[in-house]
Amino acid sequence: MSCHALVPAAGGGSRMGAERPKQYLPLAGRPLIHHALATLCAVPAIERVHVVLAPGDHHWVDGDFAALAPKLRVLRCGGATRAESVGNGLKAMRGEVADSDWVLVHDAARACLTVAHVEALIRAVGDDPVGGILAVPVADTLKREEHGRIATTVPRENLWQAQTPQMFRHGLLTEALEFAPAVTDEAGAIEALGLHPKLVAGDATNFKITYPLDLYLAEIILRHGGRRNEQ
């Protein structure tokens, strides 16, 4: 079984309201994106980590990624959407990976990912015919809104919040994204083919940094033992 990681990082993170793209904001002494890349590079089962940047990205060179160089490959083929960036990255990987090889797609903004998270996903999905994702069961009560008021309460039973990495075979994922290019995550494209990805329980520390407050929460996790990469 051959595993590769793919990290789309061509977006700007407009909801963060920062002057530079979110993935390059400082976090625990490193660019935000460095944390996820370092974790993925530290997973023995992952042969190569491919990071997809916007063609005109000039921030990358300001970061110190030299220690990750043996495993890291930079692809300057990012698109206008996440799905387009992932699709372009998959195409750029052709020739290096087989259709049957696994690709773990991970959000650059999930900086608190640990090696333990990734290895749990690989163990659970490695023999699965479809693939799977990290996710957590929804714990909060959910409300559907109309005109600023609660329209209804949504039952939370059997609801899960998707995380990343999302792990699928290169050939299948390429086909799925060509068939359903407007999805917001890779599992959605696989579902569009009529398939049912496996859910693998993660935990709340693997959250997506979206708003300024999230940076403070991530800093706490990273500086106080949240990265259990030695496990």
Question: Which strand (E) or helix (H) includes residue 208?
Answer: none
Q: What integer pLDDT is reported at residue 224 of this predicted model?
A: 84
3-state secondary structure of 75: strand
Q: What integer pLDDT is reported at residue 229 of this predicted model?
A: 45
Instruction: Give the Cβ contact number of residue 106 at 10 Å.
Output: 28
Q: What integer pLDDT is reported at residue 230 of this predicted model?
A: 42
Q: Any idea what DSSP says for residue 19?
A: S
- 165: cis peptide before it, omega within 30°? yes
Rg of the Cα atoms in the chain: 17
Q: Which amino acid would we find at residue 94?
A: R
Q: Which amino acid would we find at residue 53?
A: L
CA angle 227, 35, 186 (to 5 degrees): 100
Tens of pLDDT, residue by residue, the chain (231 residues) = 799 999 999 987 666 666 788 999 999 999 999 999 999 999 999 999 999 999 999 999 998 999 999 999 999 999 999 999 999 999 999 999 999 999 999 999 999 999 999 999 999 999 999 999 999 999 999 999 999 999 999 999 999 999 999 999 999 999 999 999 999 999 999 999 999 999 999 999 999 999 999 999 999 999 886 444 444
Task: Report the C-alpha gap between 139 and 5 in whole angstroms.
Answer: 29
Domains and CATH numbers, the chain: 3-223 (3.90.550.10)
Q: What integer pLDDT is reported at residue 150 of this predicted model?
A: 98
